[in-house]
């Protein structure tokens, strides 16, 4: 079930905002946040930032987006900024929202999902429900638009588990409507990508604690 990202070296990384201590980018779909394990999977957000900002030091990525997901990411350009931003994510001080297109018509207008899940050790990176050994993921959602064959949903995650929104969207105990183009929990799409986009990101400035909010349009 492993999917290798396409070669995207010809596509530039969109820099939305940068200061001495951090940078906010719009990640491409089907593009890695951090380097993959294989030697030919080194093109990623972190690598591009190191090229664009040679003075950047440390791990840089305060969080990750799934390879298939596009949208907002923040990276620390100094060890102190990276530590500060990472701690904000750990303490759930960062607020995010995503827009997705899901298969079918969602009848309810809004809802709340709490499901515990973990990686399937026999079928990585697939996540499976496990109320005993899994980690709880918490997501709020609301319908933005109903279309003839699909529904536009706003997801607001309150935890940051691996594949959280994808599992919560697809599983019958969650929304029960897979995200269009999700190869793991749904099916491939003729659109050529998974329809999940990180559209708003609110965090505190790593130097003076000023609250910052970034918002970008949805490309689908």
Q: Are strands 211-215 and 150-157 parallel, antiparallel or unpaired?
A: unpaired
pLDDT tens, position by position, for the chain (220 residues)? 556 667 777 789 999 999 999 999 999 999 999 998 776 678 999 999 999 999 999 999 999 999 999 999 999 999 999 999 999 999 999 999 999 999 999 999 999 999 999 999 999 999 999 999 999 999 999 999 999 999 999 999 999 999 999 999 999 999 999 999 999 999 888 888 999 999 999 999 999 999 999 999 999 9
98-196 has the same fold as 14-94+201-215? yes
CATH number of 98-196: 3.30.2350.10
User: 140 an active-site residue?
Assistant: no
Q: How far apart are the first and last CA of the chain?
A: 25
- Give me the residue spans of the domains in the chain: 14-94+201-215, 98-196
Are 78 and 186 within 8 A, CB to CB? Answer: no
What's the CA gap between 114 and 95, in Å, rounded?
Answer: 18
What is this structure's pTM?
0.94
Identify the active-site residue in 20, 66, 109, 130: 66
Hey, how many other C-beta atoms are within 10 angstroms of the C-beta on 201? 21
Say which CATH topology domain 14-94+201-215 has. Answer: Pseudouridine synthase (3.30.2350)
Report the distance separating Cα 125 and Cα 143, nearest Å: 28
Dihedral angle computed from the Cα positions of residues 75, 18, 91 and 162, in that order, rounded to the nearest 10 degrees: -40
């Amino acid at each position: 079930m492993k999917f290798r990202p396409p070669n995207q070296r010809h596509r530039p990384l969109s820099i939305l905002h940068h200061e001495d201590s951090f940078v906010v980018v719009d990640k491409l779909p089907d593009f890695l946040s951090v380097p993959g394990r294989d030697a030919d999977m080194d093109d990623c957000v972190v690598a591009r930032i190191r090229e664009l900002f040679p003075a950047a030091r440390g791990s840089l990525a305060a969080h990750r987006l799934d390879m298939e997901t596009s949208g907002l990411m923040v990276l620390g350009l100094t060890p102190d900024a990276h530590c500060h931003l990472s701690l904000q994510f750990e303490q759930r001080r960062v607020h995010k929202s995503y827009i997705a297109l899901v298969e079918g018509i969602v009848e309810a207008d809004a809802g709340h999902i709490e499901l515990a899940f973990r990686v399937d050790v026999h079928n990585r990176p697939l996540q499976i429900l496990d109320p005993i050994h899994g980690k709880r993921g918490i997501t709020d959602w609301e319908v933005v638009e109903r279309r003839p064959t699909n529904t536009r949903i706003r997801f607001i995650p309150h935890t940051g588990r691996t594949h959280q929104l994808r599992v919560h969207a697809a599983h019958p105990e969650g929304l029960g409507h897979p995200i269009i183009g999700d190869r793991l929990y749904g099916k491939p799409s003729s659109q050529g990508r998974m329809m999940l986009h990180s559209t708003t990101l609110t965090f505190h400035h790593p130097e003076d604690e000023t609250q910052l909010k970034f918002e970008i349009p949805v490309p689908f």
